[in-house]
């Protein structure tokens, strides 16, 4: 039986496709990280990308023995995404690529690299969050999960020519109705689903709406969540033939909530893409997610938020915060002791445990860094925990 309307609250998450200009920039930045690591696993990379029209700029600081053909990497990303016509956004064949790359500061390098790798200091100060909950098999909120899956499905049916009139730029937005049960939000039904997708001029709004509902929305959202109350908007602004970098500038790191938890949990403000593992914005956030997911997977908590904070040059985080949202089966001090006992939080050890010195980051740049099942997302594989430090008796 559905919950009374007075007991419900509504929460929304969004995602964007790989062809969205900001995501395109994230992909370029991470493709460069991967190419550097492919040639030199000791590469230090802080790479930003900006795009507008048929122009793309790559800039930042890189210290590496890798010999990277930056324009070739950028053009390959544009080609993979599907930007092969300047009329619809950009054309990889004629793309103008501007490169402004310098060496990483020797002062930063001295702070993080002049020790044994296990004791590598953090590449910057900052705070990082990890979040997990048991409302999906992937242990992420459904609003986030389905937002990603919708735009991912749009890309799939575009590239397979099932819907050949689709173009690369797209956004999704998913609102669920929730009910609080024992301090935990429990999803009830999909309240609103929004998809805005770029298309060629030769297709009608009616065809776009019906085909997107049939081949994307119904293929992604389980039928038990689609009710007579569910509102569906497809291209609510009308026509969307003018998109991609042609209509909007893009920049690395402007979709950080899309990258993480869709507004649930917390966010320290740092972007992930374009950074190697010494940048704790990335590695610390992956660790925090690994911790949170491992705790929820062990069933010692139903919902968990982890915060870590680091200082440049120091290996150990200066703070650890664990929020169990009142769902822990053991006291919070024991929960923190469990985390410290099971996870080495030094950046060098994060890189070793999660295998972050190998190319794997291009895949992360679109459709979320969390809630993925690809084996290269090592932080998504829960760790089997050693509970020997836990004194309180509990049952899974």
SS3 state of residue 159: helix
Per-residue burial over 333-368, b = 16 or more CB atoms within 10 Å of its CB, e = otherwise: ebbebbbeebbebbbbbbbebbebbebbbbbbbbbb
Mind telling me the catalytic residues?
20, 22-23, 48, 61, 171, 240, 248-249, 254-255, 275, 279, 281
Q: Kindly state the DSSP code that residue 383 receives in the 8-state scheme.
A: P
d(CA 158, CA 199): 10
**CB 302 within 8 Å of CB 131:** no
Kindly state the helix (H) or strand (E) to which residue 14 belongs, with its residue range: strand 8-16
d(CA 155, CA 366): 11
d(CA 359, CA 33): 7
Residue-by-residue DSSP string for 46-105? EEEEEEETTEEEEEEEEE-S----HHHHHHHHHHHHT-EEGGGTEETTT-EEEEEEEPPP
> In terms of Cα–Cα distance, which of 87, 35, 26 is closest to 241?
87
């Amino acid at each position: 039986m559905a919950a009374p309307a007075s007991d419900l609250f509504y929460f929304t998450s969004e995602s964007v496709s790989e062809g969205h200009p900001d995501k395109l920039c994230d992909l370029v930045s991470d493709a460069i990280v991967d190419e550097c690591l492919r040639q030199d696993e000791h590469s230090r990379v802080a790479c930003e990308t900006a795009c507008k029209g048929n122009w793309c700029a790559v800039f930042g600081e890189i210290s590496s023995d890798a010999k990277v053909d930056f324009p070739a990497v950028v053009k390959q990303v544009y080609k993979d995404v599907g930007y092969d016509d300047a009329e619809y956004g950009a054309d990889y064949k004629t793309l103008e690529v501007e490169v402004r790359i310098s060496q990483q500061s020797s002062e930063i390098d001295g702070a993080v690299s002049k020790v044994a790798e296990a004791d590598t200091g953090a590449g910057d100060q900052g705070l990082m969050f990890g979040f997990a909950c048991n409302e999906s098999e992937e242990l992420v909120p459904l609003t986030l999960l389905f937002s990603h899956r919708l735009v991912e499905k749009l890309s799939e049916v575009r590239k397979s020519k099932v819907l050949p009139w689709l173009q690369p730029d797209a956004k999704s937005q998913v609102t669920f109705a929730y009910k609080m049960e024992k301090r935990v939000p429990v999803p009830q039904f999909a309240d609103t689903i929004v998809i805005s997708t770029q298309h060629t001029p030769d297709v009608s709004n009616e065809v776009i709406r019906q085909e997107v509902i049939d081949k994307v929305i119904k293929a992604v959202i389980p039928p038990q969540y689609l009710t007579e109350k569910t509102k569906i908007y497809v291209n609510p602004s009308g026509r969307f033939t003018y998109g991609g970098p042609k209509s909007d500038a893009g920049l690395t790191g402007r979709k950080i909530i899309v990258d993480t938890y869709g507004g649930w949990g917390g966010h320290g403000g740092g972007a992930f893409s374009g950074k190697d593992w010494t940048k704790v914005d990335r590695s610390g956030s992956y660790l925090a997610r690994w911790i949170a997911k491992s705790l929820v997977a062990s069933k010692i908590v139903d919902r968990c938020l982890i915060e870590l904070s680091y200082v440049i040059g120091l290996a150990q985080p200066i703070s650890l915060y664990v929020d169990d949202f009142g769902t822990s089966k053991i006291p919070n001090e024991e929960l923190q002791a469990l985390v410290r006992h099971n996870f080495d939080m030094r950046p060098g050890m994060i890189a070793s445990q999660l295998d972050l010195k190998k190319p794997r980051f291009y895949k992360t740049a679109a459709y979320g860094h969390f809630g993925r099942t690809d084996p290269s997302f090592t932080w998504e594989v829960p760790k089997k925990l050693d509970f020997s430090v836990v004194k309180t008796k509990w049952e899974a």
